[in-house]
């Protein structure tokens, strides 16, 4: 999208304040930069100060907006989230946009500092707490006809997710893909419920949830190496906006991780390489078969952020 097109989407909004979680890279970074370009006061919430300093410097330089800053917030720690909210509230400024973007995907089984399974604890519970702690500020900042907004980034994997109420932590049978899908489904259900409550109260706040599609970011760093190889070789065709394609790609990723992780300790390297090559060929055939309407352009992080913003105007 060109600078001219960007300017036609939203008018300048220098009187607005936004918080973006995970705004140091990927979709979060592109979202923070876009909002800064609109003139908003943007606060990046993250847990990597070195990356944050670089992100803030780059956004300020590219947008010529000095009202971009970083506040430390580890969404895997309830205490850190509460400290972040306290620091923000001490600024005594409004809040018009909260973008719940940060997350992890398919990480090994591990827990947050509070003892929650990491997908559930960081992706869902962290944003659940953050949103609720900031809700009063959002209410005070919104007005009839110009609502404050909560925009939560979910994923098409919520379609295949299940809430295992008997074992939310996955302690009996852990699946990285299952845990990720469950956390994204929880975000969707939370958003729908929150929007219902806000609407019933006549609140000047709306809750929105968006699927950005399959986007080429560092979120894939925890998937198994053959999957990363597929991503590297065929990413040009994978990273499209089609929800149907998204679900098929996630299914392929799950198959790759399940088959190779299960077999890697029991079969030799030659067989593993054979399986990997077979999967690559199969993936190419499936990808070619499901295409419709011709190939569309590769979806970058910035393009995905802009697409998510079209769900609701700020």
State how beta strands 148-153 and 97-100 pair.
parallel
The reported pLDDT for the residue numbered 288 is: 46
pLDDT band at 230 (very low <50, low <70, confident <90, very high): low
Q: Which pair of structure tokens corresponds to residue 210?
A: 């968006």
Q: Cβ(187)–Cβ(209) under 8 Å?
A: yes
Phi, psi (deg, nearest 5) at residue 18? -130, 145
Taking residue 119's Cβ as centre, other Cβ atoms within 10 Å add up to 29
The CATH code for residues 3-213+299-309 is: 3.40.50.720
Q: How far apart are CA 103 and CA 124, in angstroms?
A: 9
Q: How many CA atoms lie within 13 A of 55 on its CB side?
A: 31
- φ, ψ dihedrals at 48, nearest 5°: -125, 100
Is the alpha carbon torsion for 236, 237, 241, 244 positive or negative? negative
pLDDT confidence tier of residue 308, bands split at 50, 70 and 90 = very low
The residue ranking higher by pLDDT, 232 or 108, is 108
What mean pLDDT do residues 140-165 have? 89
State residue 208's pLDDT score: 97
pLDDT in tens, 153-206: 988 777 778 888 888 888 888 888 889 889 999 999 999 999 999 999 999 999
User: How far is C-alpha 241 from the geometric centre of its chain's CA atoms?
Assistant: 15
Residue 145 gets the label, from left (phi > 0), alpha (psi -120 to 50) or beta, of left
Measured at the CA of 55, the angle between CA 49 and CA 59, to 5 degrees, comes to: 145
Token representation of residue 36: 């800064």
pLDDT of residue 106: 77
Alpha-carbon span 249 to 256, nearest angstrom:
11
Residue 128: its pLDDT value, please?
98
4-58 tens-digit pLDDT: 444 447 889 999 999 999 999 989 999 999 999 999 999 999 999 999 999 999 9
CA–CA dist 308, 156 (Å, integer): 13
Helix 269-289 and helix 225-238: axis angle, to 10°? 20
Q: Residue 210, by phi and psi: left (phi above 0), alpha (psi -120 to 50) or beta?
A: beta
Residue 287, number of CB atoms within 10 A of its CB: 18
Catalytic residue annotation: 180
Phi/psi at 73 (nearest 5 deg)?
-155, 115
Give the closest residue to 235 by CA, choosing from 293, 180, 292, 280: 280
Share the mean pLDDT of the chain: 78
Give the pLDDT score at 176. 85
Q: Where are the domains of the chain?
A: 3-213+299-309, 219-289
* The pair of three-digit structure tokens given for residue 200, joined into one six-digit string: 């019933």
Token duo for residue 140 = 């005070």
Determine the pLDDT at residue 312: 41
* Strand 205-210, strand 68-72: pairing: unpaired
pTM: 0.72
């Amino acid at each position: 999208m060109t600078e001219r097109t960007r300017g036609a989407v939203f008018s300048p909004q220098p009187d607005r304040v936004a918080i973006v979680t995970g705004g140091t890279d990927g979709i979060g970074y592109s979202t923070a930069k876009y909002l800064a370009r609109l003139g908003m006061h943007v606060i990046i919430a993250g847990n990597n100060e070195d990356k944050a300093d670089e992100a803030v410097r780059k956004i300020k330089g590219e947008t010529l907006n000095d009202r971009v800053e970083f506040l430390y917030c580890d969404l895997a720690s309830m205490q850190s989230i509460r400290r972040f909210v306290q620091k923000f509230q001490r600024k005594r400024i409004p809040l018009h946009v909260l973008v719940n973007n940060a997350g992890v995907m398919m990480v090994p089984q591990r827990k947050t500092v509070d003892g929650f399974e990491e997908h559930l604890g960081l992706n869902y519970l962290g944003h659940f707490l953050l949103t609720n702690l900031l809700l009063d500020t959002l209410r005070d900042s919104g007005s009839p006809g110009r609502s404050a907004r909560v925009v939560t980034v979910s994923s098409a994997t919520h379609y295949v997710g299940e809430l295992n109420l008997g074992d939310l932590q996955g302690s009996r049978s852990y699946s990285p893909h299952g845990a990720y899908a469950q956390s994204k489904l929880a975000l969707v259900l939370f958003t729908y419920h929150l929007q219902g409550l806000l609407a019933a109260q006549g609140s000047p706040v709306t809750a929105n949830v968006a699927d950005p599609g399959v986007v080429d970011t560092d979120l894939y760093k925890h998937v198994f190496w053959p999957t990363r190889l597929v991503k590297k070789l065929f990413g040009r065709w994978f990273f499209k906006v089609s929800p149907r394609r998204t679900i098929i790609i996630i299914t392929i990723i799950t198959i790759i991780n399940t088959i190779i992780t299960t077999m890697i300790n029991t079969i030799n390297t030659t067989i593993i390489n054979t399986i990997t090559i077979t999967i690559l060929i199969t993936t190419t055939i499936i990808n070619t078969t499901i295409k419709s309407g011709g190939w569309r352009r590769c979806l970058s992080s910035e393009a995905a952020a802009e697409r998510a913003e079209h769900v609701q105007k700020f």
